[in-house]
Amino acid sequence: MKMYPSLTQRLLSLFIVSGSLLFAQQGDQKEKQKDLLSSLNWKRWSPEVVPLYTPEESLSRIQVAPGFRVELVAHEPMIKDPVFVDWDDQGRMWVGELRTYMMDLDGNGEGERLSRVMVLEDLDRDGVMDKATPFLEDMDNVRSLAFVDDSVLVVETGGLWLCRDNDGDLRCDERKKLIDFATAASDNIEHAENALHFALDNWMYNSKSSRKLAWRKGNLIEMPAKARGQWGMSSDAYGRLFYNHNGQWFETDWASYDRQWPAKGDSVKAPTNRVFGIRPNTALNRNYRPGRILEDGRVASVTSISGLAVHSHGAYGQEWEGAIFSMSPGTNTVGAFLPEKPFPSSDKYLHNTYPDAIWKEREFLASTDERFRPVNASMGPDGCLYLVDFHRGVIQHKRFLTSYLRRQSAERELDKHIGLGRIYRIVPENYKRVDPPENSVAGLSHPYLWWRLRSQKQIVEGDRQDLANSVRKLAENPKAQPHARVHALWTLAGLGNLKESTVRQAIDDGDWFVSMTGLRLAGESKGVADFFPDEFKPDAQKVEKRSDASRTLVSYAGLVGKSGYPLRAVKTYKDKEADWLKKDKLLLSSYRKGREQYAISCGACHQADGKGLPNMAPTLAASDWVTGDANRLIAVAVHGLMGPIKINGKPVEGVPPVMPAHGFMKDDQLASILTYVRNAWGNRADPISDKDVAVYRKAQADRVVPWTESEF
């Protein structure tokens, strides 16, 4: 007997299908001219079903700039849906997989815990991975990772985890969630925190994020930071950060050196958004709009830019120094941008394109395989560029997918063949292998930036105080390479072991970057990162008068010599002056001066709202140390504080037991800062005058060590 579905069943089925389509077509909502969505313009150039090529076949369809070759390093089934790659200190490749991204056109199953972190090993050292071990197998869309001490930080949707392999089998045995992270990914996977990129200034930076992270003495520290980029992060040998957005090849800034480059503005953006593929690019989300697709089937501008990498002190030689390689998965290309002149002489970049017999012009790397999707890249320990190929047809998230792209994807079967992935290495034809360093101190002098940064990271995050003297010798060695000395200076700063004499020698150095780093880190030698001590101003003024110094160095020396460091703290809090403050003009004047000084010298650690930072600095708001005995507060400010303390009777946990001395500051500076903190954020206490500070200094003239709580 034939069974017919009931009316209720048919309506329910229709509702489910319609709801699914509506959800998958959220991208239609931005289009005002709805009739354009039904366009079939793509059939003019790409009517056929998209073939699936083997890894070797896909490799053969890639064209790269003259002087380079492309090597296949890893592919499915060893890896699936890769989105980033990194290496541990033993040279093993770690790959993060986004396995539940758009498994079908409705994006079903996105939150399932199927994503992995894989460890790949090249056992015979032929450049091809031979063995894969799943370190983690049950993650929610892994986004990035970083190595800290003997553990791994792993970011997934919603959290950052500390993961540890206890028995050496490369499988995670223990994991602990440290903080909420990338929480926006549960709703919008394309727009959430990612990267964990360690840069010259000892911080890990993230795209789509307004915070930076650091690992110190077994604790994770976070601090507000400028919001940057969308996916991926890179840096160069000068500490510049590089990032990008969907429609922008790249952007870069030098905030780590107080925004002293470029000469105008805070950042430099790509000179163009033009792109030159070697196949029609019809399968892009809004190509229904008139003029989006050119007469040859390609698109004129990028709309799907993903990760990027910067060649700085790598295997490609001086000709490629500072080159930015940016990923355009929607056009199956990798763009290359070279600086017009060596840094910091210019802020202009040139878009490197190459002649093509068929298409007239093409990018640094381009493929005719439509499933070739370079979504990320990294410079490896061998100094070469590694491309991460997500390798699938549909890369547009369901949240933005238009019905135009959905129909094309279905008819051309772009939604088929998931669970693939390839990783390629771009090698110069004249490539010569450079040996890894023998140890972490030697690594600070390695010719490749990758090893210098990794060595610096090992020493700082491992709190290797036993290596401080060796690092100091490198920093003070006038015969050492300038960049090695710069890494040594930043390493000492990260260890909290940078001496005033080392900084003065650096400031006087003939190399502009060493000298500038000395000026940049002068405050660190006094234990205060964001305040330029007055006793260094004569050194800065001397540099400003040097005729042989670069324009950038002279400008910076003039700035700090006159007015100190620019404000480095990220403004996330607006101070509200209490009504009772406004009734006392003298108090209000001191309060406002103190607020300005606090932002420069204290705000980075204790924060603009006075609430401090976990694992870094305690709260000053509603604290008896602040509103209590004025002499005790002055003592702490002048000579510092060490050892465990209690605030309002409760032990302070997770904060380093050291408050650095600020006695190098002038009496009126300290007085105004202390007056401010005693009357901000709901605090209310008597002001402190410069005479109060002077009386304390005279009474404690013989003291040189910090106070302890028990002494009070």
Any idea what the CATH number is for the domain that residue 310 is in?
2.120.10.30
The Cα 299–Cα 43 span in angstroms is 15
Q: Which of 691, 674, 496 is nearest to 591 (CA)?
A: 674
Q: Which of 570, 577, 564 is nearest to 534 (CA)?
A: 564
Beta bridge partners of 301: 274
Supply the pLDDT for residue 17.
39
What is the DSSP code string of 40-96?
A: -GGGGT--SPPPPPPHHHHHHTEEE-TTEEEEEEEETTS--SEEEEEE-TTS-EEEE
For 372-396, give the DSSP string.
--EEEEEE-TTS-EEEEE---S--S
Residue 320: phi and psi, rounded to 5, are: -110, 15
Backbone φ, ψ for residue 695 (5° rounding)? -60, -40
Question: Is 18 buried (19+), middle (13-18) or exposed (0-12) by CB count in 10 A?
Answer: exposed
Report the alpha-carbon distance of residue 72 to residue 84 in Å, rounded: 16
Is the residue at 456 inside a domain? no
Domain for residue 637, yes or no? yes
CA distance 710 to 68: 66
Strands 323-328 and 374-379: what pairing? unpaired
Tokens of 237: 């040998």
Answer yes or no: do 238 and 356 share one domain.
yes
Do strands 144-148 and 385-389 pair parallel, antiparallel, or not at all (unpaired)?
unpaired
Report the 10 Å Cβ neighbour count for 92: 16
DSSP-derived secondary structure letter, 465: G
Question: Which domain CATH number covers 702?
Answer: 1.10.760.10
Q: Give, in order, the Cα–Cα distances in Å from 115 to each of 121, 141, 256, 283, 387.
A: 20, 5, 34, 26, 20
209-233 pLDDT, tens digit each: 999 999 999 999 999 899 999 999 9
What per-residue confidence (pLDDT) applies to 11? 38
13 lies in some domain:
no
Q: What is the pLDDT of residues 604-649, one digit of tens each?
A: 788 889 998 887 889 999 999 999 999 999 999 999 998 999 999 9
Residues 420 and 312 placed together within one structural domain of the fold? yes
Which of 378, 408, 428 is the C-terminal boundary of a domain? 428
Asked, for residue 382, whether it belongs to a domain, the answer is yes
The verdict on 370 and 508 lying in the same domain is: no
Same domain for 398 and 478, yes or no, is no
pLDDT of residue 664: 87
What is the distance between the alpha carbons of residues 467 and 364, in angstroms, rounded to a whole number?
A: 42
Identity of the residue numbered 359: W
Distance of CA 204 to the CA centre of its chain: 6
pLDDT value of residue 700: 93
Instruction: Compute the Cα dihedral for 9, 13, 16, 19 and give only its sign.
Output: negative
Contact residues for 439 (Cβ-Cβ < 8 A; gap 6+): none
With a CB cutoff of 8 Å and minimum separation 6, the contacts of 537 are: 560, 561, 562
At 305, give phi and psi (nearest 5°). -60, 135
User: Residues 625, 645: contact at Cβ < 8 Å?
Assistant: yes
Q: Is the backbone peptide bond immediately before 262 cis, with ω within 30 degrees of 0?
A: yes
- The reply to whether 62 and 150 lie within a common domain is yes
Residues 274 and 401 in one domain: yes
The dihedrals phi and psi of 221, each to the nearest 5 degrees, come to -115, 140
**pLDDT confidence of residue 571:** 67
Which pLDDT belongs to residue 187? 85
Burial of 313 (0-12, 13-18, 19+ CB in 10 A): buried
Residue 452 is assigned to a structural domain of this protein: no
Element (H or E) spanning 691, and its range? helix 690-699
- Within a domain: 26: no
Q: What is the DSSP letter of 436?
A: P
> What pLDDT was estimated at residue 240?
98
Three-state DSSP state, 419? coil
Give 389's strand partners.
374, 422
**Distance between CA atoms of residues 293 and 279, nearest Å:** 12
Q: At residue 450, what is the residue type?
A: W
Is 583 found in the same domain as 559?
A: no
Residue 8 belongs to some domain of the structure: no
351 vs 271: CA distance, rounded Å:
8
The pLDDT of residue 622:
93
Query: What is the domain count for the chain?
Result: 3
- Say how far apart CA 598 and CA 571 lie, in whole Å: 13
Q: For residues 171 and 192, is the Cβ–Cβ distance under 8 A?
A: no
> How far, in Å, CA of 662 to CA of 669, rounded?
10
Q: What is the pLDDT of residue 572?
A: 64
d(CA 93, CA 78) in angstroms, rounded, equals 12
DSSP state, residue 630: H
- Which pLDDT score is estimated for 6? 45
Range of the domain at 48: 41-428
Does residue 23 fall inside a structural domain? no
The verdict on 505 and 553 lying in the same domain is yes
Low-confidence ranges of the chain (pLDDT < 70): 1-24, 571-572
Question: Do 651 and 692 reside in the same domain of the chain?
Answer: yes
- 195 and 291 in a single domain? The answer is yes
- Does 297 lie in the same domain as 209? yes
Contacts of 586 (CB under 8 A, 6+ apart): none
* Amino acid identity at 608: A
* Structure confidence at residue 103 (pLDDT): 94
Say if pTM beats, i.e. exceeds, 0.85.
yes
Ramachandran angles phi, psi of 422, nearest 5° = -140, 150
d(CA 410, CA 308): 30
Instruction: Report the distance separating Cα 545 and Cα 538, nearest Å.
Output: 11
Question: Is 662 exposed, middle or buried, given 0-12, 13-18 or 19+ CB atoms closer than 10 A?
Answer: buried
Please tell me whether residues 145 and 265 are part of one structural domain. yes
